[in-house]
Structure 1
């Protein structure tokens, strides 16, 4: 059962736990950092940060909804060829089976929620 979770604003802006390189990266040095919240197994929620770099997204296994807290990235959707510049304040939804490319140009921090479909 999912319990009530409250995360104070200072926590979303503070230090995160090192999480290694972004798997599958092919450019830059995208070190990642993460703070997971106690919401599993229903959904997975976290604050995630990544330094500049790029990677391909193979078909996603689940849908992810993100609120971008800070930073910048360019995301290209393979199905349409459209490129989106995202920045703090933006919301993105990457649906299950989505493919594309992320290019983080300025360390990005996002609140992410995924695992539902």
Structure 2
């Protein structure tokens, strides 16, 4: 198997329209994505979204996020929240429940690990 190389400009030029985020309950968050790598157990790529928000219940996988542009507020199921912006890195483990609110157009690099988690 060979290594895979790309750059942000190339990834953005091959992005796929994801439409309005399923489950959005505020705004009309429009999404897009571009996959760099996809295998049964791991997915890596870019994802973008316009302002809006949605709830996530019992996340089935683990996601590592590096925010490249924009801002979002992440609220955990217990009500604790934090804001993320360009340069921030965070992990949403399998089983996580909470809320995403995109405050400014967001672009992130993501790694999703399909670890069969969840509760």
Same fold, judged at TM 0.5 (above) = yes
- Say if 2:94 is the partner of 1:96: yes
Q: Which runs of 5+ in 1 are unaligned?
A: none
Number of the residue aligned with 1:82 = 80
Separation in structure 2 between the aligned mates of residue 111 and residue 6 of structure 1, nearest angstrom: 14
Residues 21-36 of structure 1: pairs in structure 2 closer than 5 A: 21-36=20-35
8 Å CA contact 1:3, 1:39 repeated in 2: no
Separation in structure 2 between the aligned mates of residue 9 and residue 54 of structure 1, nearest angstrom: 25
Separation in structure 2 between the aligned mates of residue 32 and residue 110 of structure 1, nearest angstrom: 11
Number of the residue aligned with 1:63 = 62
Question: Moved runs in structure 1, 4+ residues, more than 6 A?
Answer: none
Q: Which runs of 5+ in 2 are unaligned?
A: none
8 Å CA contact 2:40, 2:114 repeated in 1: no
How far does residue 16 in structure 1 lie from its aligned partner after superposition?
A: 2.4
- Worse overlay, 11-20 or 42-51: 11-20
How far does residue 50 in structure 1 lie from its aligned partner after superposition?
A: 0.5
Separation in structure 1 between the aligned mates of residue 36 and residue 12 of structure 2, nearest angstrom: 15
Which digits, 9 at most, give the CA deviation of each residue in 1:7-32, with x for residues without a partner? Answer: 12323555622111111100101010
